[in-house]
Amino acid sequence: MDSRHGKVRLKVEVDRLSNLPNDLIHKILSFIDVKYAIRTSALSSRWRYIWTSMPCLNFSSEGFHSLPEFSKFVTRVLSTRNNKTEVHYVKLAFCGKDSEAFVKRILKYAFSHNVQQLDVTCLPGKKGYHEDLFESPVSVFNSQSLKSLTMSGYGYRHYVKIPPTWYLPALTTLNLFCVALHADDTTDKCAGLLSNCANLKNLTLNNCRIPGGISKDLHLCHIGLSNLTLEYGGYNAVYVDTPQLKKFTVINFPAIHLVSAPNLASLHYKDDSNNYYGNLLKVSAGLLHLENVDLCIQFPHECKDYAQDIVCLLQQLHSVKFLTLNLELLKVCTYWFLVFIICVKQIFSI
């Protein structure tokens, strides 16, 4: 009897899952690789074709023994899929430079089906672990529908090189991790990245660089950008000219020149490198709308020049409503302030 009841309970549970609406099943399947989503077609006739109308596609070459095998799988998926269903989200992870043909096939399919969110991770192949830089197999991004793009290299020392320009007029969010940015050879400036992204609102650059060393400047100029995050970068100078910027986050990203950000309301600045190169954040214009500032800076106590730069920065933040300082920064600023007071007293006593 227990066995019979067990079968009944199992049947009820299976029926509950099968009776879920397709939208919810698609949402659940979007978290796993397409290869595993396809296997659900063997569960029952109810599940046989559900995967063919999934609006989210998750491809990864890591689960295949060879690139030809992965390429064959991609061809089968795209040709069997319900072609009338639009693609909302594509997540793609591939290995090595030899992936160019089928990666282009996936992206071409995604762009032709009005993809809105794209997440591309470029993994080095077996020989790629000794390469510092390899190019993305996609020479150009051109999409009228794409709203969010995330592109990632394989971590530190394995950067992916992106196209010098792209046309993404609907893009609102751009996240780049371990990406080599294109620089103009005549001006040594990296400026064309945002020129064809008119609706961009959110930009994150994490551990990105410009090939050819750190002598090139990075110019971030965009009239509509409202949220900017810069993490772990190395450039000669970074110039930020963003009149609509509301939130600015900087983490271990030296040589920032805030040229124009009159509407900035929130600033988070963190530097725990414990080194001073004269690269503290520099503000060229007034920040009259700044409300929240969070400064966390680590540096040698004996570095008087850095302390003076910090005092100058704090003076430019005089209109801020809420200011948060890390304890070490507060101690150092207090120390140098007391030194200044003592020196003044000694001068007047003479």
Residue by residue, pLDDT tens for the chain (350 residues) are 455 555 555 555 555 777 778 888 888 888 888 888 888 888 778 888 888 888 888 888 887 778 788 888 888 888 888 888 889 999 988 876 667 777 888 888 899 999 999 998 887 665 544 445 555 655 557 889 999 999 888 766 667 777 777 888 999 999 999 888 776 655 555 656 788 899 999 999 998 887 765 557 788 999 999 999 999 876 678 899 999 999 999 998 888 889 999 999 999 998 877 665 557 888 887 788 899 999 888 765 556 667 777 777 877 887 788 988 887 777 766 766 666 566 656 555 55
**Smallest Cα–Cα separation from 269: which of 299, 225, 241?**
299
Is the sign of the CA dihedral 79, 116, 94, 184 positive or negative? positive
Cα 334 from Cα 316, distance rounded (Å): 18
What CATH topology corresponds to 22-273?
3.80.10
Residue keyed to tokens 């507060």: 330
pTM of the complete model: 0.83
Residue keyed to tokens 């992965």: 70
Q: For residue 87, give the DSSP letter.
A: P
